[in-house]
Amino acid sequence: MAKARKSRGESMLVRYLVLGGWAAVCLLPILWFLSIGFRPRTEVITPQPIYWPTFSLDAWHLLMSDWPIAQYLRNSVIAVAGSVVIDLVLAIPAAYALARYEFKGREDIGFYILSTRMMAPAIVAVPIFFLFKTLGLLDSVWALMLIYAAINLSLVTWIIRSYMLDIPKELEDAARTDGAGDLTILREIIVPACLPGIITAAVIAAIFAINEFLFTLLIASTSNAYTMSVALANFTGGSDGIIYNAIALVSFIAFVPILILVILIQKHLSRGLTMGAVKG
């Protein structure tokens, strides 16, 4: 008995060492980076790192005066929100077809949609660049919207499909005998019943869209289309080098809403991230 208790105590110690250790690995860089955001520029790059900096809103003032941060934010929001709307409009009917109908080629079409997620952005970067150049869409938020929608369409389709598969078939049978047609069933029964899945898909798509870097880098060349993600990389004040405190501050401004969204869908996160393959 005593021995059992002792080994239990030891394993608790090991457990909290591991869990606490990794928590520190996660948090310390974040806290340190947060401190970068609120220190004067002179204390960012120094011969000896400064761990207890002077508090300063330098970065904030710099952002407000020198950089059109509101414009970047607006570009991000328009491009991301628009792309999510496009994705949902396209993905919901597609997911319904994949989840509920028997038809020739269903497996192959489903897999094709999935496989577009596997494509490296770099592979299509050159052609997409030329495509948007031809269309006169370079340096435009609309181009970013279309690209983000394309990147996330497979993910959104598969997540929603997975949730639709969970809806009992009886529900549709009932609606059919009640006199509803296919589209009515989709709109009135299926979509409300898989709303958690749709929200999860939308949140995850939004996060990936906010994070997108390569295409945005190629398509956006001025503050017309710069989003938060790429604007960061341009906080280099010429001879001043990289303006880290502004970067840190902006990344936290983007981090907070994402954190809130993710906490809201926490229960569904693992299922969303695996495109429905893992039920959390």
Partner 1 sequence: MRTDAPSVSANGVATATPKPAPRRRSPALRKAFPYLLLAPALVYLLVITLYPGIFAIYQSLFVVKFLNWEWAGLGNYSSILQDREFWAALGNTALIGAISLSLQTGIALAIAYFAYRDPFIRGWRIVYLMPMLFMPSAVAFIWKLAFNDGRVISDLLGRLGLIEGNMDWLGSIPLARMTLIVADVWQWTPFLFIIFVAALQGQDQEIEEAARLDGASWPSIFWNISLPMMRPVIVVAITLRGIDITTMFTNVFVMTQGTPGGATETMSYFIYRQGFRMFNFGYASAASVLMLVLTVIIAQTVVKRAFHSGKK
Partner 2 sequence: MASIHLQNIEKRYGGFVGVQNMSLEIADEEFLVLLGPSGCGKTTTMRMIAGLELPTGGKIVIGGEEMTEIDARDRDVAMVFQGYALYPNMSIYENIRFPLRMRGVPASEHDARIRQAADMVELGGFLDRKPGALSGGQRQRAALARAVVRQPQVFLMDEPLSNLDAKLRQSMRVQIKHMQRQLKVTTVYVTHDQIEAMTLADRIVIMNKGAIQQVGTPDQIYSDPANTFVAGFIGSPPMNLIEGTAQNGTFVAPGVTAPCPEYVRGKVTLGVRPEDCHVGGDNVQGMVYGVEPTGDTTYLTVLAGTKKIEVKAAREYRSDIDVPVAIHFDPAHLYFFGEDGQRIRGAA
Residue 241 sits at φ, ψ, to 5 deg, of 75, -165
The total of other beta-carbon atoms located within 10 Å of residue 116's CB is: 14
Q: Which of 64, 70, 119, 195 lies at the binding interface for partner 1 (CB under 8 A)?
A: 119
Q: Which of 193, 207, 217, 242 lies at the binding interface for partner 2 (CB under 8 A)?
A: 193
Give the DSSP letter string of 103-127: -TTHHHHHHHHHHGGGS-HHHHHHH
The residue assigned the tokens 């414009």 is 71
Binding mask 159-178 for partner 1 (x = CB under 8 A): --------------------
What gap in Å lies between CA 262 and CA 131, rounded to an integer?
A: 34
Q: Taking CB within 5 to 8 Å according to partner kind, which of partner 2, partner 1, none is near residue 31?
A: none
The total of other beta-carbon atoms located within 10 Å of residue 124's CB is: 17
User: Among 39-47, 143-151, 165-173, 234-242, which window interacts with partner 2 (CB under 8 A)?
Assistant: 165-173
- Closer residue to partner 2 (CB): 72 or 163: 163
- Closer residue to partner 2 (CB): 10 or 188: 188
Q: Which of 73, 78, 193, 207 lies at the binding interface for partner 1 (CB under 8 A)?
A: 207
What gap in Å lies between CA 27 and CA 19, rounded to an integer?
A: 12
Q: Taking CB within 5 to 8 Å according to partner kind, which of partner 1, partner 2, none is near residue 168?
A: partner 2
Q: Counting contacts by CB under 8 A, is residue 195 touching partner 2?
A: yes
Give, in degrees to the nearest 5, the angle at Cα 64 between 240 and 28: 70
- Tokens representing residue 115 in the block: 């496989």
- Closer residue to partner 1 (CB): 141 or 250: 250
Q: Counting contacts by CB under 8 A, is residue 10 touching partner 2?
A: no
Q: Which of 54, 74, 224, 255 lies at the binding interface for partner 1 (CB under 8 A)?
A: 255
What pairs with residue 242 in β-bridges?
Answer: 236
**Which residues touch 167 (CB under 8 Å, ≥6 apart)?**
190, 193, 194
Q: Counting contacts by CB under 8 A, is residue 258 touching partner 1?
A: yes
Q: Taking CB within 5 to 8 Å according to partner kind, which of partner 2, partner 1, none is near residue 195?
A: partner 2
In the chain, the amino acid numbered 149 is: A
- Tokens representing residue 219 in the block: 């398509």
Torsion of Cα atoms, 78 then 81 then 84 then 90, to 10°:
-60
Q: Taking CB within 5 to 8 Å according to partner kind, which of partner 2, partner 1, none is near residue 32?
A: partner 1
- Tokens representing residue 218 in the block: 């190629």
- Tell me the closest approach of the beta carbon of residue 200 to partner 2, in angstroms: 17
User: Among 41-49, 143-151, 175-183, 224-232, which window interacts with partner 2 (CB under 8 A)?
Assistant: 175-183
Q: How many residues bind partner 2 (CB under 8 A)?
A: 18
- Closer residue to partner 2 (CB): 52 or 101: 101
What gap in Å lies between CA 153 and CA 206, rounded to an integer?
A: 11
